[in-house]
Amino acid sequence: MRTTVSASFRGAYSDIERNLEVGREWLEARLKADLHEFRPVSVKARVKEVDSLFAKLQKGDYTRMLDVEDLLAARAVFLHPADVKSAIKVVEDAFPTKEARNVEAGKPDDFRYQQPHLIIGFPPSYIDRHPELADVKIELQFTTYIQHALQESTHDVIYKGSRFSWREARLDGRLRGLLEIVDDVLANISNVAQVDPDPAYELFDRRNAIIDFAAGVWDESTLPSDMRRFAITVEGLLRAAGVNVEELSEMVGKHQDIVGALSLNSVDKILGILLRERFDELLRGTKARKILISKELEDMVPSALKWPQEKRVSFS
């Protein structure tokens, strides 16, 4: 912004600006803590730049600096629209809310992005310690990751450009309409994906069979949280040993000491069974692949001690 700011105005704002910076640090930390449960992608607060404030006051809509709603502003970015709604409720409960904007559903035929935001003040407990911030209004914006990305990409061109452009503004509106649909799809991706049944796909079917096998043998609490990665790892071990899931299921019954071992994780247990049953095949089949063999596995399955060092993942 190329607005020329008078020295007297810059000096008058500098004292307020220092106080605002103290409030900004506290506000950002407090919002991150209050909104943590919704896993925000980003929570950032900023103090309004003097050039921007001067230009805003020149429009004549405000009597004094402290009347401006966004001297201090923050933006919270979330993955899904539902998180936005929940976050708004938390902030309304935690901060004095002076005004809520665009928090209700808009017109069904209007695809302008109505970014929800609140105009809030600092809580009384904070004002008791910082009375100089008692009159400060805070603009808190809430948005989704997708809408935030578009905002950041188009802001300088469409909203801060040197001229007005019908085509640019129209394109922005069309993009926001599309992204609203994408936001809804992503928020309900599991339900949307179930509209049609999954077609047969050998790779996924094979991996899902491994997941189903593990769920039938071990309690969920003992299995890894990332079952997709687990399935891919086990798939590689089974392929190297020349064993399918049905054959592994038969082997499990003969090695209950491994199956119930508390010192081994689920991948180690399957590896231990394969080391007992198909050591030579596994050794040949791994080729250049390295195997992670723990001390606990060596204690449970002595044949693991024979696994070559050059085919092991080093712990160092």
| Residue 70 DSSP symbol | T
Q: What is the pLDDT of residues 267-296, one digit of tens each?
A: 999 999 999 999 999 999 999 889 999 999
Q: What is the pLDDT of residues 214-245, one digit of tens each?
A: 999 999 999 999 999 999 999 999 999 999 99
Half-sphere exposure of 87 (CA within 13 A, CB side): 32
Average pLDDT over residues 15-35: 95
Phi then psi dihedrals of residue 46, to 5 deg: -145, 155
Structure confidence at residue 1 (pLDDT): 45
Could you give the CA distance from residue 214 to residue 155 in angstroms, rounded to a whole number?
50
- CA distances from residue 282 to 206, 239, 245, 279, 290 in whole angstroms, order as listed: 19, 9, 15, 5, 11
**Model confidence band, residue 163 (pLDDT cutoffs 50, 70, 90):** confident
- Residue 302, pLDDT above cutoff 60: yes
Could you give the CA distance from residue 51 to residue 73 in angstroms, rounded to a whole number?
16
Which one, of 193, 157, 195, lies nearest residue 175 by Cα? 157
Between residues 3 and 20, the one the model is more confident about: 20
Contact 33, 53 (CB under 8 A): no
- CA distances from residue 89 to 30, 79, 251 in whole angstroms, order as listed: 15, 17, 54
Residue 215's contacts (CB-CB under 8 Å, 6 or more residues apart) are 223
Structure confidence at residue 127 (pLDDT): 96
Structure confidence at residue 160 (pLDDT): 64
Q: What is the pLDDT of residues 188-215, one digit of tens each?
A: 776 666 656 777 889 999 999 999 999 9
Structure confidence at residue 107 (pLDDT): 65
Which one, of 230, 194, 182, lies nearest residue 81 by Cα? 182
